Amino acid sequence: MSAARGGSLPGMTTHTLDAPGAVLSYEVLGSGPVLALIGHPMPAGGFRALADQLTDRFTVVLHDPRGTGASTLTDPGELPDAGVLADDLSRVLAAVTDVPADVFGSSGGGITALELAATHPGQVRTVVAHEPPLVEYLEPEDAAVQRANADQVQRTHREHGLLAAMGLFAQQNGFAPPPGAPSPPPPSEDDLRSMSRMVLGLGTLIVHRVGALPAGQVVVGVGAWSAGAMTGRTAAAVAAAHDLPLVTFPGGHGGFHPGQGGDPVAFAVALEQTLRR
C-alpha cells in the first residue's frame, strides 16, 4: 500500500494497493465501525454524497473497482468477473481493518458484495446487496429476455456508440426516475469510461450465480421505485433463492445518488437502520 495522501473531502485519505493484474485505489473517511460502499462499474465518486451522511458514525471506505476511476489494470482489456472483484474488495478491507466490516454494494457492486460474503464470510458483519442484476435468478423466460436485451445493448454500442447503448439499457430496465425528478447532469469522463466497461462486460456480469451465503449476515435491498424494473425483480428473486430478508430503500436503482434522482439523506437513514437491525 502506498503512503496515504489527502483526498477530495475533508478528512479523507486516498490509498493504493497492489493486486494481481491491477493497482487498486480506495478512500477512507470518517470514524467508527468500517462500512464499505461499493459499486460496479460505478467508481468511488458515485458514493460520496451518501458517504457524507455517514462519516460521523462510520469509517467509510470507497473503492474504485479495477479498471474504473483511479484503479488501473495491467491489461486494459480485462473484464473482471465477480470473483476477481470480490478478492479485490477483500484485499482493500484487510488493509483497513482486521475485524468484520459492513458492506453496501449497489448494482454490480451488489454482486461483488454477495460474492465477498460467499467467499470471505469472516470479513463481513452485514452485507446489503442493493438491486444486484443477477438475471439467472429470474424465471427462465424472463432471464432469456434479459440476456437478449444485454446482447442488443452490446450490439447498439458497437454500431451506434455508448450513449445510444446506455439509453437503450435504461429503457429496457426501467431506470428512469419518476416524473418531476431533476434531470441528471451530463456524464463525466470517468462516468463514460465506467459505462463503456459495464456494457462490454454486461453478458458476463448478469449471469453470475452466488454460492452459499453465511446465515444472518446478508440482506438484499430494493428501491421503492423499482417495482417494474429488471433489478427490482432480480433483487426479489435473489432474496427468495437464498432465503434472505428483502428491505425496501428510498428511490430507485440509484436511490442514494442525487444525480439519479436519489436522496442520500433518506437513503443513509434507511441503510443505517438496516445495518443496526
pLDDT per position as a tens digit, 92-103: 999 999 999 999
pLDDT of 4 over the 60 cut: no
232 CB-near residues (< 8 Å, 6+ apart):
131, 174, 222, 223, 226
64/201 Cα distance (integer angstroms) = 16
**Confidence at residue 171, expressed as pLDDT on a 0 to 100 scale:** 80
Residue written as grid cell 450513449: 163
pLDDT of 140 over the 90 cut: yes
Tens of pLDDT, residues 228-250:
899 999 999 999 999 999 999 99
**Among 14-28, 105-119, 125-139, 143-157, which is the least confidently predicted range?**
143-157
Local confidence band at 85 (pLDDT 50, 70, 90 cut-offs) = very high
Local confidence band at 6 (pLDDT 50, 70, 90 cut-offs) = very low
**Confidence at residue 178, expressed as pLDDT on a 0 to 100 scale:** 57
216/83 Cα distance (integer angstroms) = 22
247/56 Cα distance (integer angstroms) = 24
**Structural domains of the chain sorted by starting position, each given as residue range(s) with its CATH number in brackets:** 5-275 (3.40.50.1820)
What predicted TM-score, i.e. pTM, was given to this entire model?
0.89
Residue range 123-140: average pLDDT? Answer: 97
**Confidence at residue 89, expressed as pLDDT on a 0 to 100 scale:** 99
Tens of pLDDT, residues 13-45:
999 999 999 999 999 999 999 999 999 988 999
Local confidence band at 166 (pLDDT 50, 70, 90 cut-offs) = confident
Residue range 249-264: average pLDDT? Answer: 93
**Confidence at residue 174, expressed as pLDDT on a 0 to 100 scale:** 65
In 3D, which of 76, 92, 124 has the Cα closest to residue 27?
92
Q: Name the percent of the chain lying above pLDDT 90.
A: 68
> 105, 111 in Cβ contact below 8 A?
yes
